[in-house]
Structure 1
């Protein structure tokens, strides 16, 4: 708040605790940052730096291994030590051209898909997501508030909400193994359907479950195109199609999660590695938290450790670049 304006708010900043899944399946505590803004009347006064630097220092003291955010503008956060660490991929599929899914795709024996009400998804979604995210390096925990907004329990005036389709997959034992959330617009050109199905969320614990959910999505009548705005860059969906060329990159190809390392020993010891090795990076950090030379050693069992060292550096890089790596 600005005392000169009678205590009016001139900036916003929100942060909260999250978990980040690392290669190998370990989840480490990280500091999530969102809702950052500075009023146009008070820019270039260091308000962003004061909010962000103080909050990062407090997060580091509490034991967060890193901080994460989604950057609305690319150039802003590099100077605070953040680097782009994951990418948002997406696909647009021309359904008639695709020929649909290839026949013979394996699906769970005895599995079934049912449409669920929003309140049911609020109950079963968090557990499914927590099981799913531990299989996905780069995935972040999902706060309860997100489930409340995504299922219409809480509606933000600026965001609004229209109930989508919630398709839940269960295995033969009745255990939930997948969830697909999608909307379909109702568009026609004369008497010809021209509808688009937009996948908003897609969680599958295994490939057969994913195949079953995609079969449902590709069976929806009157759909000419399927848009998946957020999908793993290595997702095999195009290879499931009779004609993979019908899947084109979505316009939402961009950087997504930005990460800022706060505790190198904790972050690098928690993840797993492909094989044994040794490297000494010399790190520069505008805040000094990770500055210095570090010995990263990994063993054949995939474990590793990161410790300060006096050994000559193999490479020199900033904490932003190290965070990206």
Structure 2
């Protein structure tokens, strides 16, 4: 008999989660982290595939609100904890779970689904497109300086005071700073209660040889205006100390606090390397360093987005320039999205409705998903051609694709600050 899919019951969570851990390999999840994930699991949105008494597949979703261009927070299914046991590969389990999940998301009225892909190749066939990227860097701080503009206070950084704080005790103040940033950068999720605890947990596999999580807050006039959380990994040899700072996260309400925190990280005693593994592609530190070429930078995929309801999703965001055109959408996995849609919008809002008018642009829903948050150009997707991995985007009316691409773009660049 084929494995059976059913909604997860609370008593089955341990078995279900062990199936997930086994599929991903590596060390067991630390107890504190496991306990938090268990408390955050939405059982009615979690699926288990069962072969008799054995759990052989998992998939879940969180009820999130994702920032989109214009600052709206759109109801989004945060797809998570997807796995299939190695013993049950190539039996259609993944497709069956994705089918059931997207049908449920549609029934709940959520316009978007989003995920962080362990293997990006898997999710394109279900209509997910890469919508954000993340920047990683390794900086030799003995050769690269942080050049903070002077003149706005005795310390040169707008009168900001930095102090060490206990990461847990400072969590409420830091979370308020994070919340202030969400509507200003597409791709950031508004964290539901309890989610803030993820940012202060020990990383998967433990802290290694590094320090426990450290936190420095930036204050101005007694108010918290920014924070940085990081680990300090000491290292010594015959030439002296050359420790490494690994940045977990950094947020600030204004440029002065932002610059003060970055300069602090550059100048920590007994260290010579600064590593940041997930920053926005347009992060401003790149314009404050003395030599950007010596900052080893790498890009990788971040958030993958899926438009579950094309009309509602496109109407939920704003557009950088006025746009009015008809899209013809191809979506074989969610055929309710297929057909022609008239989009009209600008910086003040948008509408997107069904139409029988002639199409200006034809495109696969995966291409539309990639462009949705404003970080991927529709014209670039069109240049990839029909064989492009992101799905096609073809212009039928001359000039419409360039106008649409301009309208869909956004500053700042979209970014997902953490996995889920």
Q: 3-state DSSP class of the match of 1:217?
A: helix
Residue 137 of structure 2 is matched in structure 1 by 91
- The DSSP-based 3-state class of the residue aligned with 1:227 is strand
Q: Which runs of 5+ in 1 are unaligned?
A: none
Residues 105 and 142 (structure 1), Cα distance of their counterparts in 2 relative to 1, 3 Å cut: farther
Asked if 1:38 is matched to 2:84, the reply is yes
Mapped pair 1:150 → 2:196: no
- Aligned match of 2:214: 165
The residue that corresponds to 1:111 in the other structure is: 160
Q: What does residue 327 of structure 2 align with?
A: 281
Deviation at 1:237, TM superposition (A): 0.8
In the alignment, which residue of structure 1 is the partner of 2:337? 290
Cα shift readout 1:145-166 (whole Å, capped 9, x = no counterpart)? 54324324xx68x533562111
Determine whether 1:261 maps to 2:307: yes
C-alpha separation between the residues in 2 aligned to 1:108 and 1:63?
A: 46
Equivalent pair of 2:174/2:224 in contact (CA under 8 Å): no
1:169-211 Cα offsets, whole Å, 9 max, x none, are 2221x22221111111111221422211111101112211101
Report what 1:188 is aligned to.
236
State the Cα RMSD in Å: 2.2
1:23 aligns with 2:66: no
Q: What do residues 123-165 of structure 1 show as CA deviations (whole Å, max 9, x unaligned)?
A: 333322211111111212334454324324xx68x53356211
> Offset at 1:23?
1.1
Cα separation, 1, equivalents of 2:259 and 2:84: 45
Stretches of structure 2 lacking an aligned partner (at least 5 in a row) = 5-49, 372-420
**1:141 is matched with which residue?**
190
Residue 318 of structure 2 aligns to a residue whose secondary structure is: coil
Instruction: Label 1:5 to 1:276 Cα distance change in 2 as closer, same or farther (>3 A).
Output: closer
Q: Residue 316 of structure 1 corresponds to which residue in structure 2? A: 362
Match of 1:175 among 218, 223, 234: 223
Q: Out of 234, 239, 242, which is 2:287 matched to?
A: 239
Q: Which sits farther off after the overlay, 98-107 or 280-289?
A: 98-107
Aligned to 2:406: none
**In the alignment, is residue 303 of structure 1 matched against residue 313 of structure 2?**
no
Contact residue 328 and residue 362 of structure 2 kept, 8 A: yes
Secondary structure of 2:170's aligned partner: helix
Q: How does 1:202-213 map to 2 (within 5 A)?
A: 202-213=250-261
The offset of 1:98, in angstroms, is: 1.0
User: What does residue 120 of structure 1 align with?
Assistant: 169
DSSP 3-state at the match of 1:118: coil
- Pairs aligned (count): 318
C-alpha contact 2:129 2:367 (8 A) present in aligned 1: yes
Assess, with a 3 A threshold, how the Cα gap between structure 1 residues 175 and 269 changes in structure 2: closer, same or farther.
farther
Q: Deviations for 1:228-260, whole angstroms, at most 9, x for unmatched residues?
A: 11111111212212333332214xx21110000
Determine the C-alpha separation between the residues in 2 that align with 1:293 and 1:24. 24
Q: Is the 8 A contact 1:164 1:182 kept in 2?
A: yes
Residues 322 and 187 of structure 1: CA distance in aligned 2, closer, same or farther (over 3 Å): same
Residue in structure 2 matching 1:248, options 296, 299, 306 = 296
Q: Distance in 1 between matches of 2:330 and 2:252?
A: 40
The 3-state SS of whatever aligns with 2:168 is helix
Conserved 8 A contact 1:275-1:302: no
